[in-house]
Structure 1
Amino acid sequence: MRNTPTFVYIATTADTKGQELEYVRARIANLCLTPLTLDLSTSGIPTHYKTDISAIEIARYHPQGEQAVFCPNRGQAIAAMAIAFERFMLSRNDVAALLGLGGSGGTAIITPAMQQLPIGLPKLMVSSMAAGDVSGYVGSSDIAMLYSVTDIAGLNRISRKVLSNAANQIAGAIRFHIDDDADSLPATGLTMFGVTTPCIKAITSAIEAEWDCLVFHATGSGGRAMEKLIDSHLLNAVLDLTTTEVCDYLFDGVLACNEDRFGAIARTGIPCVMSCGALDMINFGHPKTVPARHANRHFYNHNTQVTLMRTTVAENDHMGRWIGNKLNACAGEVRFVIPLGGVSALDAPGQPFWDPGALNAFVHALEQTLVQTEKRRLIKTPYHINDPCFANVVIEQFHAITAMAK
C-alpha cells in the first residue's frame, strides 16, 4: 500500500444492494473522502446502479477467468467471486479503507479479501451475519463487523442509521489514523495463557525498555494473529513460549491452531525462542460439552465455561514429533527451551496436572525428531516455566539470537 492511499473502497453485490451502495457512496463523499464503488454481483444480470468497478472486471481476476464466477451454481459462483475479489484487492495500491455491505453471500465474498489486507488498514463489514459467530469472517485480521439489524434489502429508518454510522466510522478511522513512529522500538510477539502468565510478565518486564512487546492469548486465533504479523513482516522477533494451541489442534480441543502453526516462522526465518507452555492441557467448554469418549480422562474445571483435560504420555509423544517436524522446516535462529520442572501452573509438584512422565515423553520425541544445527537448538533447563530462572534463560537466548539478526 502507498503512504498516501486515495480511495475508500465500497464493495457489495450491486444487483441486490445497489440502493444501499449509492447511499453509502454519497455519505462518504459528503465526508470529503473519495469513494470507489465495486460490484461483486454473481448473477450476471445487469444493474442500473452504476459502479466504478464492474463485477465483470473483478471476476476476470479469477485464475480461470470470469466464466468461473458467472456459473449456474450460486454457491460455486460466490466462492469463485471471493477468490477473484481477493486477487483484485491484492493488486491495488490506492486503498485508504474497505467498507463492505452484505448478507451471507456478500459477507462470504468480501471478508476473505479483507483478511489479506494489512493490519491497521481500516476494514468494516456491515453484515446481517454479524450478530452470530463471526470468527470465520474475521480470521486473524482486524476486521470490524457491524450488525445491520435489519436485512440489507433496501433503505429504511434503521438501515439509514446503521449505514451512516458505518460511513462515519470509516471516516474516523482514516482521519485519526496513527502513523508508525519511525523511532519506535522493534516489535516482538509473545504467546501467553493464564497458566504461563508469570513467565511472560517476567520476560516482558525485562525486555520492554528495548522491545515493543505484543502479547497474544494462545486461543487459536491468538496464534494465527501473531503469525499473520510475522508473515506481514510487522514483528522483528518472537517469543513463542505458550504453544498449547497444538494440543487442541491435534486432539480436537476448542482453542486450536491450524496445520500452518509455526509456518510463518519457517517462511520468514524470524528469530524465535520457543517452548512447550501449557502442552499439559486440552481445552473444552462447559463439562457437558466434553465428548463422551473422554469420560475416563483426567479433568480440571478452570471455570464454569472452561474444562481442561490433561494430555497423556502418548499425546505428548505425538506433539513432540509434530513440533519437531515443524521446527525442522525453520532455517532462521530458533531456540526451543524446555522447562523440565513443569509446563504450566497446573503442571507442578502438588498440582492437579503434575505428570513428569508425560513431559519426558514430549522431550524424548522432540529430541528424536528435531534435527539440531548451529541455528536450530534444543535447550533443557531444570526449572518450572513460571520460575524466574527459566525466564532468565529465555531472555539470555533471546538477546543472543536477536543480536545475531541485527
Structure 2
Amino acid sequence: MAIVVLLGTLDTKGEECGWLRERLRQRGVDVLVVDAGVIGEPRISADVPRAEVARAAGAELARLRAEGDRGAAVTTMARGAAETVLRLYGEGRLHCVLAIGGSGGTSIATRAMRALPLGVPKLVVSSMASGDVSPYVGSADITMMHSVVDIAGINSVSAPILANAADAAAGMAQGFAAATRTRRAAVPGADGRPLVAASMAGVTTPGVDAARERLTELGYEVLVFHTSGAGGRILESLAGQGLFAGVLDLTLSELADDLVGGMLSAGPGRLTAAGRHGVPQVVSPGALDMVKFGPLHTLPEQHRREDRRVRVHNPSITVIRTTAAECTELGRRVAAKLRAATGPAAVCIPLRGLSTLGAPDGPYHDPAADEALFTALREGLRDSAVEVREAGTHINDPSFGRTAADLLHRMITGSGEVSAAACA
C-alpha cells in the first residue's frame, strides 16, 4: 500500500492532521504521522513522536522546551524532520510527504521536503503560500497550496482545501509507489539515459540548442536551465546531488548579475557544484557581456552614465553592457572556480561574440571588453588542468554548440582526447 507521511505540529495542528489522516485512509493509502511540535501537548497520537524527531537532530525535547527559544526549536525540529523523512524514504515507507502549517510549520516541513530526492511527491498546505515562497521551495520540486484562511480548525473554507490536498497526496503517493514497484522511471534519467545539464538564456539559445541536439544524438537526456537566478541555483543544487553525468554550462550571465548587482544573480555558489563533486563540465563565458535589471526607471543611478550602454530588452527588463573592468573581474572569477574543480573541466571561448547582442553587428559588440574577459580567463587558467579552447566563431554558431557537446561527451566517456580543432 502507498504510504503518505503526514508532517505537522500536533500541538497546534493536531485536529487538522487527524482530519487529514482519516481522509487519506479513505482514499486507500496508509499514513505515518510525524509530530514536529515542541511546546504544547499533541492533540492526536503520532507514529513518529516529537521526542524521536528531536533526537534525530541530536537534541533532547525536554531541553528544547525548557529553553523556550521558539526560533531555535523550529530550526532543530526542521533538521530532525529532514533526517526522519530521509530515513523513512530509505526504508521504503514514504511515497509522498503532506504537511500543513503557518510560518513555523511551513519552515519545518519544507526543510524536510528539500532533503528528499527530486521526484518524490511533496505537498504543503500553508497560509504563507500566497507570498514569496522561494525561501520555502528553494530548488526543490515542492508543491505549495494556499490555505486561504489560517489553518485553525475544520470549517467551510478549510475543509474543501484540505480535502483537495489529501486527495492529491493520495494520488501522488499511489502513482509514485506504482512506479517504484514496477521499476518505471520515477525521475528523469531513470530510463537509462544519462542526464546532462545545460544553461541557456534567450541570447544564447541557438548555440545551446545545437549542443542539446548533439547530446541527444549521443544518447543523453538534456535538462536545460534558464539562467534566471533560480535556474542557476537549481542547476547547482541538482549537480550537488549527483544527478548529472556532465554539465554544459554555456551561459554564465548570472555571474555578471552577481558582480554588478543585477536582478538575476544565482549567488556566489554559481559554477561550483559540478567542480566540487568531480562532475565533468564544459564551460563558455556566454552572456557575460550583459547585466539584467528591471524596468528602465528602476535602473540604479550609477549605471545611467554616458559611457554605459543601456538597452531596454522588454518592458520588464533593462540590459546594460559589462565594461572591460567588469569583464576582467568576471574572467578572474570564472577561472578561480574552474581551477578548484576536482573533475575534468574545459572552457570554450567564442571569439566572435558572447550573445546575440554581442555579435559583430550587435549593439553590445565590444571587442576590447570581450578581450579583457578572455585575457583574464587565459591568465587565470595558465598551468592548470583546465583545458582552454578558443573558437573563431560566435557562441550561437551551431558548430560551436556541437563541438562543445562532443567535448563534454568525450570527458564523460573517457573516449580519448578531443582534437585541437574541436573548438576552433
Please tell me the TM-score bracket, short chain as reference: over 0.9
Cα distance in 1, alignment partners of residues 325 and 63 from structure 2 = 46
After TM superposition, the structure 1 stretch with the greater mean CA deviation from structure 2, 223-232 or 116-125, is: 223-232
8 Å CA contact 1:282, 1:311 repeated in 2:
yes
Q: Cα deviation per residue 1:223-281 (whole Å; 9 max; x = unaligned)? A: 22222222222221111111111112222222111222222212321121111111111
Would you say 1:200 and 2:200 are equivalent positions? no
Deviation, structure 1 residue 106 = 0.9
After TM superposition, the structure 1 stretch with the greater mean CA deviation from structure 2, 95-104 or 230-239, is: 230-239
After TM superposition, the structure 1 stretch with the greater mean CA deviation from structure 2, 334-343 or 290-299, is: 290-299
Cα distance in 2, alignment partners of residues 50 and 176 from structure 1 = 27
Letter of the 2:264 partner, please give it.
Answer: L
8 Å CA contact 2:3, 2:173 repeated in 1:
no
Count of aligned positions:
400
Q: Which residue of 1 aligns with 2:350?
A: 339
Cα distance in 2, alignment partners of residues 53 and 142 from structure 1 = 24
Deviation, structure 1 residue 6 = 5.7
Q: Which residues in structure 2 correspond to 1:272-283 (within 5 Å)?
A: 272-283=281-292
Q: Which residue of 2 aligns with 1:74?
A: 70
Q: Which residue of 2 aligns with 1:230?
A: 239
- Give the secondary-structure state (helix, strand or coil) at the position aligned to 2:157: helix
Deviation, structure 1 residue 67 = 5.9
Cα distance in 1, alignment partners of residues 20 and 59 from structure 2 = 32
The one of 367, 378, 391 equivalent to 1:381 is 391
8 Å CA contact 2:339, 2:384 repeated in 1:
no
Cα distance in 1, alignment partners of residues 239 and 291 from structure 2 = 26
Would you say 1:249 and 2:258 are equivalent positions? yes
Cα distance in 1, alignment partners of residues 62 and 196 from structure 2 = 45
Q: Cα deviation per residue 1:338-380 (whole Å; 9 max; x = unaligned)? A: 1111111111123121111221111111222225545x21111
Cα distance in 1, alignment partners of residues 300 and 57 from structure 2 = 41
Cα distance in 2, alignment partners of residues 187 and 372 from structure 1 = 31
Tell me: CA distance 1:200–1:69, structure 2 relative to 1, closer, same or farther (3 Å). farther
- Give the secondary-structure state (helix, strand or coil) at the position aligned to 1:214: strand
Deviation, structure 1 residue 182 = 5.9
Q: Which residues in structure 2 correspond to 1:181-330 (within 5 Å)?
A: 183-209=191-217, 210-296=219-305, 297-330=308-341
The one of 383, 388, 407 equivalent to 1:397 is 407
The one of 10, 13, 16 equivalent to 1:17 is 13
Sequence identity percentage = 38
Q: Which runs of 5+ in 2 are unaligned?
A: 417-424
Query: How does the TM-score come out when normalised to structure 2?
Result: 0.89
Q: Which residue of 2 aligns with 1:97?
A: 96
Letter of the 1:150 partner, please give it.
Answer: V
- Give the secondary-structure state (helix, strand or coil) at the position aligned to 1:199: helix
Q: Which residues in structure 2 correspond to 1:359-374 (within 5 Å)?
A: 359-374=370-385
Q: Which runs of 4+ in 1 moved over 6 A?
A: none
RMSD between aligned alpha carbons? 2.0
Cα distance in 2, alignment partners of residues 369 and 38 from structure 1 = 51
Q: Which residue of 2 aligns with 1:49?
A: 44
Cα distance in 1, alignment partners of residues 364 and 78 from structure 2 = 45
Q: Which runs of 5+ in 1 are unaligned?
A: none
Letter of the 2:46 partner, please give it.
Answer: T
8 Å CA contact 1:96, 1:121 repeated in 2:
yes
Cα distance in 2, alignment partners of residues 138 and 371 from structure 1 = 40
Q: Which residues in structure 2 correspond to 1:67-146 (within 5 Å)?
A: 69-70=64-65, 71-92=67-88, 93=90, 94-146=93-145
